[in-house]
Structure 1
Amino acid sequence: MVSMFRDVTYKVIIKGMTSTEEKDILNGISGSVDPGEVLALMGPSGSGKTTLLNLLGGRLNQPTVGGSITYNDGPYSKFLKSRIGFVTQDDILFPHLTVKETLTYAALLRLPKTLTKQQKQKRAMDVIYELGLERCQDTVIGGSFVRGVSGGERKRVCIGNEIIINPSILFLDEPTSGLDSTTALKTVQLLQDMAEGGKTVVTTIHQPSSRLFHKFDKLILLGKGSLLYFGKSSEAMLYFSSIGCNPLIAMNPAEFLLDLANGNINDVSVPSELDDKVQIVNSDAGKRNGKPSPAVVHEYLVEAYETRVAVKEKKKLMVPIPLDEEVKAKVSSLKRQWGASWWQQYTILFCRGIKERRHDYFSWLRITQVLSTAIILGLLWWNSDTNSLKGLQDQAGLLFFIAVFWGFFPVFTAIFTFPQERAMLSKERAADMYRLSAYFLARTTSDLPLDLVLPVLFLLVVYFMAGLRMSAAPFFLTMLTVFLSIIAAQGLGLAIGATLMDLKRATTLASVTVMTFMLAGGYFVKRVPVFVSWIRYLSFNYHTYKLLLKVQYKHMTPVLNGMRIDSGLTEVSALVAMVFGYRLLAYISLRRMKLCAQ
């Protein structure tokens, strides 16, 4: 796929306390890349290379974008998503999935519906062998606290996630960052092999070694958002020599170019034109320690490119279709092409969710926490007395603790769900891997089987040690009540996390909310003011506690601790409403966040 871009500009709007200003990130960038070529975007930090890559890859759709970008003479459209691969700088992968599982799930979600499940799985294995990952295919990816594959293998898995759809054009954001020189060379050699196979490859690179630099076919050098060079990478040194900039010592070409882009001309010969310009400026700002300042060097390089190269290069580019209205008209008339049906997306994401999170749910730390709490409670209420009112009130204290424990615990676990997966969600949604509704339902329901195990273990210990009502119906109704409380509490955690998307703020809000629910329930203050008492009806702790009392004592007393012991239909209805209401709020919050280009 041929990609051409002409006079691309990009601005960001910075809102201050009293005013709003626009900052130029890119200033009229032009260039092209053809199938079989590797184009490297190079420049110092903050030069705009990642922004340019995101624009070319269709990852930025803002009104502040100017110029034109075309792919095979056509504008960007949603149909192109299935032909474009985009590898982000950060290795965003699930740590507990193996290499084979990661690529298989990507194949099942991204490859066309016309392929069978077996054909998609075979494609995943083909990519594994193509990238040389067969030796680690059954090794987990790993992360901060999980030992897994090496850094180079992680990067290849990220590349595999994108080339699995056999894209016509592949974008990569600093694929060699964090890798040693040998691994970085292998990675770039892999990109070169892909290009030779007929693909178009565009990559940003920060400071490549000389061996890496010579493997690129074309080069774009950026400085402060302006174009300093576009052309063959092998001719870059000749061009800068022609404008009077030569290294005075033997040095890596990439290092020399980055020094120039930064305005650093130590160990670089200064052209006479630049000396003349400094003499005209004739100030400390224009010349420091007898050398031109970085600002003057940058201005000279931009002017040199504009006068000597830019006009000739722009003539080579075909006149492309403008970005704005033409793109909007075409995009609005197209529908997304999903690789799987809604139900298939849900099923795949459900299975992936269980495989990824079962390690966290059944970690020894969590099991020990739940079982030790259960044993302590069982010892404190060992064979509690149910023959006297005082004994019943003591036992009611245990039920209150159970309601509180299985209210706090799920809320603060669920809060982490969407903030922690935001990067993965953004990445996968940007590639149109699945619908947000399929992801949301799979993410929230795949926790349910896992959530049932620990409460069952907890109640098996507490229920019989404390001597609660010994018959099957009360035991299973107690378990059902606790499970309903957990799902409702999770809904609140999901809603808070999805709304704020910040763990510190979400944890603070959840602490205040749950504490308010508990205090307003009337457990500690019998006469709760009217203007506060209504909060209890929003509290899952309040409804769970009432249900537990009704399950245990319906046959014994009509009133306990001021609560009427009835059928409990009101409490069940309230908890069910919370289960769906809080989750609906979480989904709406995710939809409004606009995590990625949609």
Structure 2
Amino acid sequence: MPPEQLIFPNTTPQLPNPARNRSSDRSLPSDLSSPHPLSLHFVDVCYRVKLTTNNTAGIRLTAILSSPPPPSAQERSILEGITGIAAAGELLAVLGPSGSGKSTFLTILAGRNIPSGGSIIANGRKATRSVFRRIGFVPQDDVLYPHLTVRETLTYCAMLRLPGDRVRESVEGVMAELGLKGCGETVVKGVSGGERKRVAIGHEMLVNPSAVVVDEPTSGLDSTAAGRMVETLAGMARKGRAVVASIHQPASRVYGMFDSVMLMAEGRCIYYGRGRDAVDYFASIGFVSEIFVNPADFMLDLANGVTRTDHQADAADKATVKQSLISSYNKVLAPKVKASVNSSIAASMASAEALRIGSQRTGKKETKDFSTISWFKQFSILLRRSLRERRHETFNSLRVFQVMAAAFLAGLMWWHSSIHDVQDRLGLLFFISIFWGVFASFNAVFTFPQERVIVNKERASGMYPLSSYFMARMVGDLPMELVLPAIFVLIIYWMASLRPELGAFLLTMVVILGYVLVAQGLGLVIGAAIMNAKQASTIVTITMLAFLLTGGFYVQKVPICMKWLKYTSFTFYCFRLLIGVQYREDEISFYRALSHNHDITGDREAEVEGQVSVMTSMAALVIMFFGYRILAYAALRRIKV
């Protein structure tokens, strides 16, 4: 077939036929079976990134020896001039080898990334934030909470995005449509790869999106599961949605389900059109496939610069093949694609204007693309989800064993210690301070880096603002993070025979619990500022080492240039408060006089006791508690979603 006779996708947005595939709609609510039609036009989409070299010394040396100095940053083109249509009611498959720019293109099409050039047009108008919220986006990696069941995952998502009276109906309808009824009560980490991918798609289907963009939905699945996944996507398209999916290596049966195909190579398009016409097009420009070959395999070979007649081609030959494909596309297909896109945009604008006039005449108002839920309701839902998910993380056997082992080991080391042994008691109090300072801050540093992908995805979908998530996380930490330190204090306090008074015990408990929250705040702010768990844990380790050395136990005569660091250490203030609880007024002087190591103990206690008062220590910890969390929130605010 000559290139001039190639058939392009139906570029005029059309409403789905209500009678089509009616049997598959029976399990769905009426609003889920008829989404608002949305056709996406992408015109000359480009994306470039700046590459900055890490060889700073080499740059400086070259700058000295050469004139003019070379630039320190270069641009790399990821996408270049991508044009086409994702039509309502059709499944568009994006094919291409790894590194061809498929994922970058999909994030731009779904509004999760900003192109360097070109534009995304929705129904004849430039896509806005409200339009992008009507586009469901499923990334390649499944972004789900592992310890929630499938039903809980979809229910919490629906509660955040839908009115309360629609939650149950929508969840049941989506589970029926995606075939998730059988694994509804199984935790996400226990389901198969295909089921997990369908759960991720169900996240977006709850709000009945007008378009769905899925990145590598068949990755890691066997051929049967991959076929079922594509059947699911094709069924979603038949209900009137524009569905776009990047497929790595589809089987021939799967390829036959595609309405339209876009083949990419090195960030450029080398084919766009009907899937059934691709082989004929490549034959017309001199690339003929072997008999009975999978069209997708043939096209991917071409995208890699390999022809069926020469699998041993070198890099130069492959580059020549790719350049020939790009040149042929620009000469033959690109003008036709652009003309088709322009006519479709004009038709879409006319249809949108007619729809607007009709709405004005009938007095109907355009419905919002997502429901409005109060901030407190969002906070409540996120809090319940956080508590349900984090109970497995906080009370896992390894963490409980770690705390219990430390409590009993310290209890045995200081078994029934005497209040007269001031030095031993100070050692115990400092051990408690440093243990919970390190434990709490080190665990908290992973909080935001681990949840960043999930939170960014949900916020990009307009599910909730950052403030409701942050407050739910902070409030949810109170019962989760304070149970283990409370048990720790309960064990070690009586094993070590600390001050046998109920008031002293309760004060010790309050000081330790407050101190844990302050140490946790340090981990939160470092994790939020760096957003790299490995690097943040290193910074926390160094910070806690500084607090350990300036805490007032190991070094009594701190150099003047380092004394300021002591007053930034919450370990120092906690140590001071614990001493104040265990020793009242002149008791220290009395027991110090009876001690055999009078000078050593006296110097240490004078260093700790003489610097700050109890009220000052309490005020410092309160300021740090709020200050760290305010800084953590500010650090999260600067992250672009």
**Common fold by TM > 0.5:** yes
Cα 1:155–1:537 change in 2 (3 A) is same
Name 1:315's counterpart in structure 2. Answer: 339
- Structure 1 residue 243 displacement after superposition: 1.7
Higher alpha-carbon deviation: 409-418 or 308-317 = 308-317
Pick from 463, 472, 481: which aligns with 1:451? Answer: 481
Residues 338 and 432 of structure 1 are in contact (CA less than 8 Å); yes or no, is this contact kept in structure 2? no
Pick from 501, 525, 545: which aligns with 2:575? Answer: 545
Name 2:431's counterpart in structure 1. Answer: 401
Instruction: Give per-residue Cα distances to partners, 1:288-320, cap 9 Å, x unaligned.
Output: 68x981122122212222222222222122275
Residues 566 and 572 of structure 2 are in contact (CA less than 8 Å); yes or no, is this contact kept in structure 1? yes
Task: Kindly provide the amino acid, as one letter, of the partner of residue 54 in structure 1.
Answer: T
- Structure 1 residue 118 displacement after superposition: 3.9
Residues 536 and 542 of structure 1 are in contact (CA less than 8 Å); yes or no, is this contact kept in structure 2? yes
Residues 427 and 553 of structure 2 are in contact (CA less than 8 Å); yes or no, is this contact kept in structure 1? no
Task: Kindly provide the amino acid, as one letter, of the partner of residue 375 in structure 1.
Answer: F
Matches within 5 A, 1:20-419: 20-62=73-115, 65-111=116-162, 115=163, 117-142=164-189, 148-267=190-309, 293-318=317-342, 339-386=372-419, 388=420, 391-419=421-449
Residues 346 and 441 of structure 1 are in contact (CA less than 8 Å); yes or no, is this contact kept in structure 2? yes
Q: In 2, Cα distance between the equivalents of 1:292 and 1:564? A: 76
Q: In 2, Cα distance between the equivalents of 1:473 and 1:138? A: 47
Q: In 1, Cα distance between the equivalents of 2:413 and 2:497? A: 11
Task: Kindly provide the amino acid, as one letter, of the partner of residue 163 in structure 1.
Answer: M
Unaligned runs of 5+ in 2: 1-37, 60-70, 347-367, 590-601
Say whether residues 1:527 and 2:551 are aligned partners: no
Residues 237 and 253 of structure 1 are in contact (CA less than 8 Å); yes or no, is this contact kept in structure 2? yes
Q: In 1, Cα distance between the equivalents of 2:609 and 2:446? A: 37
Task: Kindly provide the amino acid, as one letter, of the partner of residue 250 in structure 2.
Answer: P
- Structure 1 residue 337 displacement after superposition: 6.1
Instruction: Give per-residue Cα distances to partners, 1:534-560, cap 9 Å, x unaligned.
Output: 111111111111111111212552667
Q: In 2, Cα distance between the equivalents of 1:150 and 1:122? A: 25
Q: In 2, Cα distance between the equivalents of 1:262 and 1:450? A: 52
Pick from 535, 538, 545: which aligns with 1:505? Answer: 535
Residues 133 and 369 of structure 2 are in contact (CA less than 8 Å); yes or no, is this contact kept in structure 1? no
Q: In 2, Cα distance between the equivalents of 1:420 and 1:556? A: 49
Residues 246 and 268 of structure 1 are in contact (CA less than 8 Å); yes or no, is this contact kept in structure 2? no
Q: In 1, Cα distance between the equivalents of 2:197 and 2:390? A: 23
Name 2:6's counterpart in structure 1. Answer: none
Q: In 2, Cα distance between the equivalents of 1:217 and 1:288? A: 32
Residues 131 and 156 of structure 1 are in contact (CA less than 8 Å); yes or no, is this contact kept in structure 2? yes
Higher alpha-carbon deviation: 71-80 or 242-251 = 242-251
Cα 1:577–1:493 change in 2 (3 A) is same
Name 2:471's counterpart in structure 1. Answer: 441
Residues 208 and 254 of structure 1 are in contact (CA less than 8 Å); yes or no, is this contact kept in structure 2? yes
Cα 1:118–1:552 change in 2 (3 A) is farther
Residues 551 and 575 of structure 2 are in contact (CA less than 8 Å); yes or no, is this contact kept in structure 1? no
Higher alpha-carbon deviation: 249-258 or 177-186 = 249-258
- Structure 1 residue 219 displacement after superposition: 0.5
- Structure 1 residue 178 displacement after superposition: 0.4
Q: In 2, Cα distance between the equivalents of 1:84 and 1:379? A: 60
The two structures have a TM-score, normalised by structure 1, of 0.88
Residues 86 and 171 of structure 1 are in contact (CA less than 8 Å); yes or no, is this contact kept in structure 2? yes
Residues 89 and 239 of structure 2 are in contact (CA less than 8 Å); yes or no, is this contact kept in structure 1? yes
Residues 99 and 139 of structure 1 are in contact (CA less than 8 Å); yes or no, is this contact kept in structure 2? yes
Report the secondary structure of 1:593's partner residue.
coil
Residues 78 and 336 of structure 1 are in contact (CA less than 8 Å); yes or no, is this contact kept in structure 2? no
- Structure 1 residue 268 displacement after superposition: 7.1
- Structure 1 residue 402 displacement after superposition: 1.0
Q: In 1, Cα distance between the equivalents of 2:390 and 2:479? A: 11
Pick from 606, 619, 625: which aligns with 1:579? Answer: 625
Q: In 1, Cα distance between the equivalents of 2:46 and 2:564? A: 55
Name 2:46's counterpart in structure 1. Answer: 9
Residues 245 and 268 of structure 1 are in contact (CA less than 8 Å); yes or no, is this contact kept in structure 2? no
Name 1:488's counterpart in structure 2. Answer: 518
Pick from 499, 503, 506: which aligns with 1:469? Answer: 499
- Structure 1 residue 45 displacement after superposition: 1.3
Residues 306 and 313 of structure 2 are in contact (CA less than 8 Å); yes or no, is this contact kept in structure 1? no
Report the secondary structure of 1:497's partner residue.
helix
Cα 1:313–1:77 change in 2 (3 A) is same
Task: Kindly provide the amino acid, as one letter, of the partner of residue 172 in structure 2.
Answer: M
Report the secondary structure of 1:186's partner residue.
helix
Higher alpha-carbon deviation: 257-266 or 117-126 = 117-126
Say whether residues 1:554 and 2:587 are aligned partners: no
Residues 105 and 352 of structure 1 are in contact (CA less than 8 Å); yes or no, is this contact kept in structure 2? yes
- Structure 1 residue 108 displacement after superposition: 1.1
Higher alpha-carbon deviation: 410-419 or 124-133 = 124-133
Q: In 2, Cα distance between the equivalents of 1:305 and 1:464? A: 80
Task: Kindly provide the amino acid, as one letter, of the partner of residue 101 in structure 1.
Answer: E
- Structure 1 residue 74 displacement after superposition: 1.3
Q: In 1, Cα distance between the equivalents of 2:586 and 2:198? A: 66
Q: In 1, Cα distance between the equivalents of 2:296 and 2:113? A: 28
Name 1:590's counterpart in structure 2. Answer: 636
Cα 1:267–1:248 change in 2 (3 A) is farther
Q: In 1, Cα distance between the equivalents of 2:369 and 2:40? A: 22
Residues 176 and 184 of structure 1 are in contact (CA less than 8 Å); yes or no, is this contact kept in structure 2? yes
Q: In 2, Cα distance between the equivalents of 1:28 and 1:300? A: 17
Q: In 2, Cα distance between the equivalents of 1:423 and 1:338? A: 23
Residues 135 and 211 of structure 2 are in contact (CA less than 8 Å); yes or no, is this contact kept in structure 1? yes
Instruction: Give per-residue Cα distances to partners, 1:11-51, cap 9 Å, x unaligned.
Output: 22222354222222222111112211000111111111212
Task: Kindly provide the amino acid, as one letter, of the partner of residue 360 in structure 1.
Answer: E
Residues 137 and 213 of structure 2 are in contact (CA less than 8 Å); yes or no, is this contact kept in structure 1? yes
Report the secondary structure of 2:121's partner residue.
strand
Unaligned runs of 5+ in 1: 143-147, 270-286, 322-334
Pick from 614, 623, 629: which aligns with 1:568? Answer: 614
Residues 486 and 513 of structure 2 are in contact (CA less than 8 Å); yes or no, is this contact kept in structure 1? no
Report the secondary structure of 2:542's partner residue.
helix
Task: Kindly provide the amino acid, as one letter, of the partner of residue 178 in structure 1.
Answer: G
Report the secondary structure of 1:433's partner residue.
coil
Residues 558 and 564 of structure 1 are in contact (CA less than 8 Å); yes or no, is this contact kept in structure 2? no
Residues 112 and 460 of structure 2 are in contact (CA less than 8 Å); yes or no, is this contact kept in structure 1? yes
Task: Kindly provide the amino acid, as one letter, of the partner of residue 3 in structure 1.
Answer: L
Residues 84 and 168 of structure 1 are in contact (CA less than 8 Å); yes or no, is this contact kept in structure 2? yes
- Structure 1 residue 230 displacement after superposition: 0.8
Q: In 2, Cα distance between the equivalents of 1:288 and 1:575? A: 68
Cα 1:130–1:553 change in 2 (3 A) is same
Q: In 1, Cα distance between the equivalents of 2:316 and 2:448? A: 50
Report the secondary structure of 1:355's partner residue.
helix
